[in-house]
A and B are shown apart, each in its own frame.
Chain A
Amino acid sequence: MSDTYKISPDETDEAQAGPLTLPLDGWHRARGGRMVAFAGYWMPVQYEGIIAEHLWTRAHAGFFDVSHMGQIYIAGEGAEAAIEAVLPIDLSTLPLGGVRYSLLLDANGGILDDLMVTRWGTGFYLVVNGATKHDDIAHLRANLPEGVSLSHLTDSALFALQGPEAFAALAPLVGGEHPLSALSFMRGASFTLGGVEAWISRSGYTGEDGFEIAVPAESAAAIADLICAQPQVKPIGLGARDSLRLEAGLPLYGHDMTPDIDPVSADLLFGINKRRRGDGGFPGADRILPLIDTGSVTRRVGLVLEGRMAAREGTKVLWGEAEVGSVTSGGFSPSLEKPIAMATVAAELARPGTQLTIDVRGRKIAATVTPMPFVPHRYHRKGAA
Chain B
Amino acid sequence: MHIPDGLMDPLVAAAGWIEFLVVLGTAIFLSRSKIRERNLPRVAILSAGIFVAQMLNFPIGGGTTGHLIGAALFAVMVGPVLAVIGMTVVLLIQALMFGDGGVSALGLNALNMAIVAPLVGWGVYTLTDPIVNGQRRIGRGISVALAAWASVFVAAGACAGELLVSYAISGGDYGIAANVSVPAMLGYHAVIGIGEAAITVGLVSYLFIISPELFSAGEPGTAFKGPAKWFTSNTARATAVILIVFALMIPLYIIYASEGRDGLEQTMEEAGTGEGSPLLSAPFSYGETYLQVLLAGIVGFLVVCLAALTILRLLKSPTRRNDPG
- Asked if A pairs with B, the answer is no
**B residues bordering A, Cβ < 8 Å?**
none
Residues of A within 8 A of B (CB): none
